C-alpha cells in the first residue's frame, strides 16, 4: 500500500467521490456503460484510485494483473 499523508488521502477520496458522482449522474440520465464509451477514462481512473485508497489487497484490486474493473464497477 502506498503511504499517503492526510492531505493526499483527502484529495484521493474527493476525486473518487467526484468521479463516482459523475458516472452515477450519467447512468441516472439513461446512459448504459460499455467498453470504449465516453466514461471509460473516468471508470479506469476511479478503479485505480480506489485500489490506491483502499489498498492492494482490497476488493478494488482483485485482479492484480493490471486490469482494473469493468464498465459496471
The secondary structure of 24-64 as a DSSP string is HHHHHTT----TTSTTHHHHHHHHHHHHHHH-TTSGGG--T
User: According to the model, what pLDDT value does residue 1 have?
Assistant: 47
Residue 54 lies in a domain: yes
Residue 13 lies in a domain: yes
Residue 66 lies in a domain: no
Task: Report the predicted TM-score, pTM, of the whole model to 2 decimal places.
Answer: 0.76
Q: How confident is the prediction along the chain (73 residues), in pLDDT tens digits per residue? A: 457 889 999 999 999 999 999 999 999 999 999 999 999 999 999 999 999 898 888 888 876 455 545 444 4
42: containing domain: 6-61
Residue 57 lies in a domain: yes
User: According to the model, what pLDDT value does residue 70 have?
Assistant: 47
Residue 28 lies in a domain: yes
Residue 12 lies in a domain: yes
Amino acid at each position: 500500500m502506498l503511504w499517503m499523508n492526510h492531505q493526499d488521502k483527502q484529495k484521493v477520496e474527493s476525486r473518487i467521490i467526484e468521479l463516482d458522482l459523475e458516472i452515477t449522474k450519467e447512468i441516472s440520465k439513461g446512459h448504459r456503460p460499455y467498453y470504449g464509451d465516453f466514461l471509460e477514462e473516468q471508470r479506469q481512473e476511479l478503479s485505480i484510485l480506489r485500489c490506491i485508497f483502499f489498498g492492494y489487497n482490497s476488493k478494488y484490486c482483485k485482479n492484480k494483473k493490471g486490469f482494473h474493473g469493468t464498465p459496471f464497477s
